[in-house]
Chain A
Amino acid sequence: MLEYELLINIWFALWCVIWALCLVADSFPLGAGMLAAFLPKTMGQTLQVAKSVGPFWGGNQVWLILAAGGTFAAFPLIFSKMFTWLYIPMMLLLIAVILRGICIELIYHDDNAKLQQVFRYGWALGSLLIAVVLGVAFTNFFRGLVINADYVYGGTLLGLFGVHALLGALLFVLFFLTSGAFWVAHKTTGEISEKCSRFGKKSSIAVAVTALIYIIALFNTDGFAANYNAYPIAYAVPLIAVVFALACIGLAVKKSDKPFFAFLANLGTLFFGAATGCVSLYPYILKSTVNPEFGVSIFAGASSQMTLSLMFYAALIFVPIVLIYQLWSYTRFKEKIPEA
């Protein structure tokens, strides 16, 4: 068995990676869902959008369950506090996840035109709500929550929705829209593909601008830069995110016939953007704005050595297997989707 402290640190890193992968994996199904509300002109085009993510969204969504379940297994105390303190946002997330899942699965099932419209907007609304809640939640984690001594929570529901958190929501929405736009542009042919390509060009610039303001605001938040100042090498993480963001804009403009590269670059921005926030958290996951010591640290919140070790080996075996068959599944659906 690995040493306990090392295991807890490994699990912090895994926690960050799993949540970041969850955002990356769900970014384009969620983005496609939001795009479906306003870009397609016909139901045929809407179905193109739906089919571009149809085979993949479900498997990608499991990263969210794994992220929640992994938090629970590795850091039960943090799981409990995270979900209890953010009670209403989590309930909204739950309803949004159910709404999105049912609508996207059934949109091509039913040929009743009215019902299809209901599914289309339900899918879009669910996707939007998921993006907003995740954006608000993560901004609050990165900024810190009102945690008093002995884990007594002093925050309010309204307090979660500050200006910075709303900017975070906007940023997540833009990230996902961009992801979705490049994906749909890549996977489809015809008018919708061109529309998405054009949309992605604009939104990738919007992402870069919003992200810049968002990150500057983060670094001006009390305590956010502490880990960065202690380990300046960590500045490499936001730097990589910036490089990916610029690469994304460049690729969107220069290689607009191959939106897949801009898509990948956007995923890179998202992953390293999330990592930028995560670096500031250590050794906490739930930071306190009242007094740093009041936060829920990974050492206070971790499971036992045996559980962490068991889950570590399970992750070591199964995460690569999952990644392999999920990536393989993309090779099964290479044909581009024409307008029906």
Chain B
Amino acid sequence: MIEDIVLLSRLQFAITVFFHFIFVPLTIGLGAMVAGFEVKYWKTQQEKWKKLAQFWGNLFKINFAFGIVTGFAMTFQFGTNWGPYSEFMGDVFASPLALEALIAFFLEATFFGIWLFTNHKRPALKAVSMVLVSVGTMISAIWIITANSFMQNPVGYQMAEDGTKVLLSDIGAVLTNPYLWYMLIHTLIAAYLLSALFMAAVSGYFLLKKSNTDIFRTSMKLGVYVLVISALLLPCFGMFYGHYVGDVQPVKAAAMEAVWESGSDLPMYLIQIPSDSGNTVQAIGIPYLGSFLLTGDLHGEVTGLNDIAEEDRPPVAMTFFSFRIMVILGVVFILEALAGLYLVRKDPAMESPKSRKYIKLILYSVPLPYLAIAFGWAVAEVGRQPWIVYGLYRTAEAVSTVPAIQIIFSTGLLLLFYLLLFFLFLYLMVKAVSAGPEVAEHA
């Protein structure tokens, strides 16, 4: 019975958080780029920047509208579905959430309203508002990842004397948790990558149609440049992040590569299929790479899953495949980014047959960063299991005892509602893109 509730509540949380995160990366990345266009227009008064701000701002607006309200879901669920967790963790975990509302959400939401209802006759107010919205999204990311990184690597706390909850002992330690900064930078770069690829693809669509080429050449270039930088930074930075995870969450690290036998000088197998107790297929090993990826040392010692009690292991196959898919997609992005860089430098109008093929390729690639990010989060959160707070508190203990039927009812309702919203979102985005850069302003 209680297992069913745990599973149902996890399912509900997974649905709501993944749905919310469809909108988050573009809000962060595109928000910063729109802020840039607004500032450019304010400073230069050139039509081009205004049109760019209007077109991309319009897409940003749709995304923001869906993103901000779907974020409510998690806050509610901590109380409704994860009551014991809230009681156990509230003292440390809830202040970042409250501070996020107080410092970031008010800023974002208030200035989003001002930005939306200010026309370009007041470019300074319009630009400053958008900059503040963008700053707000980043502050928001810091606080929410502060909360999440405590779940990954609890620091700055002490157990209450009766052992029923954690108490904040050092807010400085919570804020300087290395996990926070690894995860934050990784997440932000991924958000810029997604937004850059989105921008390049949509710009490419207009270059293919030869419509408004003057402005979309600019955003194509911006998209490709940001794509190159973020695609190259991600694996470099991700490598250090991986070494760090190997250090503080060795079980998760072992699951990411499906290492069963402890040892050093481990190879990494390009082809590998894990089961619940070992790898059924294993081929093409690259010597030392396994050790290096998880420890930063070619000869590094990795603790295998067989040396970890079964009840302390995460779902290995899911963690492993999520990690693999994320990495493979990361390689795809590098190739696409470099090809894009080559083409925009050689053929800025993107008119050659090669360029046109490339544009089609990245148009089809738009969903890929979304997938990569979703799988990345799956590594972080599924790989943390069976703990809800790593090493401290198990997911199974954290769930509210609500009648299963209520969870099923609410999950079903949410799922139906979210499906409707998703199609509405796609419809509005596609429509806003095809409408082109002649956007009517509200004000």
Q: What are 6 A-B pairs with beta-carbon distances under 8 A?
A: A54-B116, A62-B110, A93-B76, A98-B72, A306-B169, A332-B114
Any A CB within 8 A of the CB of B419: no
Using known A-B contacts A59-B106, A66-B101, determine if residue A83 contacts B91 with beta carbons closer than 8 Å: no
Q: How far is the CA of A337 from the CA of B105 in the complex (A)?
A: 27
Give the bracket for the number of chain B residues in contact with chain A: 35 or more
Q: How far is the CA of A110 from the CA of B65 in the complex (A)?
A: 13
* A277: chain B residues within 8 A (beta carbon): none
Q: How far is the CA of A56 from the CA of B116 in the complex (A)?
A: 10
Surface stretch bound by A, among B77-85, B233-241, B262-270, B366-374:
B77-85
Known: A59-B106, A79-B90. 16 other contacts (CB 8 A): A51-B442, A62-B109, A68-B75, A69-B98, A76-B165, A87-B80, A94-B76, A97-B69, A102-B66, A105-B64, A303-B95, A304-B91, A310-B95, A311-B95, A326-B110, A333-B117
B410 touches A87 (CB 8 A): yes
B94 touches A73 (CB 8 A): yes
Any B CB within 8 A of the CB of A162: no
Distance in Å: Cβ of B19 to nearest Cβ of chain A: 10
Any A CB within 8 A of the CB of B70: yes
Any A CB within 8 A of the CB of B413: yes
Any B CB within 8 A of the CB of A210: no
Distance in Å: Cβ of A251 to nearest Cβ of chain B: 27
- 1/0 per residue, CB under 8 A from A, across B111-131: the answer is 111101110000001000000
Query: In chain B, what residue has the closest Cβ to A323?
Result: B106
* B409: chain A residues within 8 A (beta carbon): 88
When A and B form their complex, which 5 residue pairs have the shortest distance between CB atoms, in order from nearest? A76-B90, A83-B79, A101-B69, A59-B110, A105-B65
A314 touches B102 (CB 8 A): yes
* A99: chain B residues within 8 A (beta carbon): 417
Distance in Å: Cβ of A304 to nearest Cβ of chain B: 5
Q: How far is the CA of A248 from the CA of B22 in the complex (A)?
A: 45
* B69: chain A residues within 8 A (beta carbon): 97-98, 100-102
* B402: chain A residues within 8 A (beta carbon): 84, 87
Q: How far is the CA of A87 from the CA of B411 in the complex (A)?
A: 12
- 1/0 per residue, CB under 8 A from B, across A230-271: the answer is 000000000000000000000000000000000000000000
Residues of B at the A interface (CB closer than 8 Å) are: 58, 61-62, 64-66, 68-70, 72-73, 75-76, 78-81, 83-84, 86-87, 89-92, 94-95, 97-103, 105-107, 109-114, 116-118, 125, 165, 167-169, 171, 400, 402, 406, 409-410, 413-414, 417, 421, 424, 428, 431, 442
Any B CB within 8 A of the CB of A58: yes
Q: How far is the CA of A93 from the CA of B171 in the complex (A)?
A: 33
Any B CB within 8 A of the CB of A141: no
B168 touches A306 (CB 8 A): yes
Any B CB within 8 A of the CB of A81: yes
* A149: chain B residues within 8 A (beta carbon): none
A91 touches B168 (CB 8 A): no
* A76: chain B residues within 8 A (beta carbon): 86-87, 89-91, 94, 165
* B97: chain A residues within 8 A (beta carbon): 69, 72-73
Q: How far is the CA of A54 from the CA of B112 in the complex (A)?
A: 10
A72 touches B167 (CB 8 A): no
B65 touches A318 (CB 8 A): no
Q: How far is the CA of A83 from the CA of B428 in the complex (A)?
A: 34
* B105: chain A residues within 8 A (beta carbon): 62, 65-66
Using known A-B contacts A87-B402, A101-B69, A311-B95, determine if residue A62 contacts B114 with beta carbons closer than 8 Å: no
Q: How far is the CA of A318 from the CA of B86 in the complex (A)?
A: 24
Q: Which of B92, B98, B112, B421 contacts A102 (CB 8 A)?
A: B421
Distance in Å: Cβ of A71 to nearest Cβ of chain B: 8
Residues of A at the B interface (CB closer than 8 Å) are: 51, 54-59, 61-62, 65-66, 68-70, 72-73, 76-77, 79-84, 87-88, 90-91, 93-95, 97-102, 105-106, 108-110, 303-304, 306-307, 310-311, 314-315, 318-319, 322, 325-326, 329, 332-333
Distance in Å: Cβ of B109 to nearest Cβ of chain A: 4
Q: How far is the CA of A151 from the CA of B376 in the complex (A)?
A: 39
Distance in Å: Cβ of B407 to nearest Cβ of chain A: 8
B62 touches A58 (CB 8 A): no
Query: In chain B, what residue has the closest Cβ to A108?
Result: B442
Q: How far is the CA of A95 from the CA of B89 in the complex (A)?
A: 26
Query: In chain B, what residue has the closest Cβ to A118?
Result: B424
A79 touches B86 (CB 8 A): yes
Distance in Å: Cβ of B79 to nearest Cβ of chain A: 3
Query: In chain B, what residue has the closest Cβ to A333?
Result: B117
A69 touches B86 (CB 8 A): no
B76 touches A58 (CB 8 A): no
Distance in Å: Cβ of A124 to nearest Cβ of chain B: 16
Q: How far is the CA of A59 from the CA of B101 in the complex (A)?
A: 10
Distance in Å: Cβ of A54 to nearest Cβ of chain B: 6
Q: Which of B83, B113, B171, B417 contacts A58 (CB 8 A)?
A: B113
Query: In chain A, what residue has the closest Cβ to B410?
Result: A91
* A329: chain B residues within 8 A (beta carbon): 110-111, 113-114
B65 touches A79 (CB 8 A): no
* B428: chain A residues within 8 A (beta carbon): 106, 109-110
B86 touches A72 (CB 8 A): yes
Distance in Å: Cβ of B364 to nearest Cβ of chain A: 27
* B83: chain A residues within 8 A (beta carbon): 80-81, 83-84
Q: How far is the CA of A105 from the CA of B65 in the complex (A)?
A: 6
B113 touches A109 (CB 8 A): no
Query: In chain B, what residue has the closest Cβ to A302?
Result: B91
A69 touches B110 (CB 8 A): no
Distance in Å: Cβ of B287 to nearest Cβ of chain A: 50
* B406: chain A residues within 8 A (beta carbon): 87-88
Distance in Å: Cβ of A14 to nearest Cβ of chain B: 11
* A319: chain B residues within 8 A (beta carbon): 102
